[in-house]
């Protein structure tokens, strides 16, 4: 059984629109930050060195290839949003993170981001690579299994 990673974010004034509700673009920032929080909790980051990097092979990084979000109810300035993060798919080169936003237990929004493991070398386009075993092992506890329903 997987465990979702849980974090919270307060809706700041700059996250809201003229109607005083949380702007859709802020949900994407919250998703990105929640993904980074999950990685940090495991001693990982979206920009890391590894053995290959130490020998001049660039850094491991995770450009996004897909993002979506469905918005169910509005959030407002000062609301504290609960965010549950789990991994809906851990492929050879990519990880899809699923986000459930809630306000006082009510579903606020659900979203997903897919990030691809890439080697980044300055001046060159990103090159996708297999997720290294040491990185994959730390993501595995968050992968949603069929038994999680
Ligand atoms: C990323 C690419 C170089 C990948 O190209 P490639 O040709 O190597 O891709 P493949 O077809 O082989 O697929 C690899 C892998 O990705 C999965 N995949 C590809 N497309 C999709 C998709 N649309 N939806 C879901 N999954 C997809 C595919 O299934 C494979 O996974 P497996 O697990 O099955 O092996 C190339 O696509 C590229 O360069 N794209 C452009 C990326 C980009 O510019 N994105 C927008 C901005 S990036 C960004 O916002 C960003 C945010 C951050 O917070 C960052 C933090 C730190 C570092 C970087 C960040 C960052 O870039």
127 contacts 119 by C-beta, under 8 angstroms: yes
pTM: 0.94
Helical ranges in the chain per DSSP H:
24-41, 51-54, 133-139
Place of tokens 């495991």: 42
The reported pLDDT for the residue numbered 38 is 97
Residue 133 is a catalytic residue: no
What is the value of ipTM here, to two decimals?
0.94
- The class of domain 5-142 in CATH terms is alpha beta
Q: What is the pLDDT of residues 99-149, one digit of tens each?
A: 999 999 999 999 999 999 999 888 899 999 999 999 999 999 999 977 676
Residue ranges lining ligand 1, Cβ < 6 Å: 32, 46-47, 61-66, 91-94, 114, 116, 118, 126, 128
Q: Cα of 66 to ligand 1 centre, how many Å? A: 7
The residue ranges of every structural domain in the chain are: 5-142
Q: What is the pLDDT of residues 38-68, one digit of tens each?
A: 999 999 999 998 777 666 678 999 999 999 9
């Amino acid at each position: 059984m997987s465990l979702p990673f849980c974090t919270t974010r307060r809706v700041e004034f700059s996250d809201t629109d003229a109607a005083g509700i949380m702007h859709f673009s802020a949900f994407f920032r919250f998703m990105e930050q929640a993904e980074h929080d999950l990685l940090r909790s495991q001693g990982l980051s979206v920009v890391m060195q590894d053995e290959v990097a130490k020998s001049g092979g660039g850094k491991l990084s995770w450009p996004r290839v897909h993002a979506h979000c469905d918005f169910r109810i509005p959030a407002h300035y000062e609301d504290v949003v609960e965010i549950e993060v789990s991994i809906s798919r851990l492929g050879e080169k990519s990880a899809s993170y699923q986000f459930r936003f809630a306000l006082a237990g009510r579903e606020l929004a659900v979203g997903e981001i897919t990030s691809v493991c890439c080697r980044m070398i300055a001046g060159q386009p990103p090159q996708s690579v297999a997720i290294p075993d040491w990185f994959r092992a730390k993501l595995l506890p968050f992968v949603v299994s069929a038994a999680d329903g």
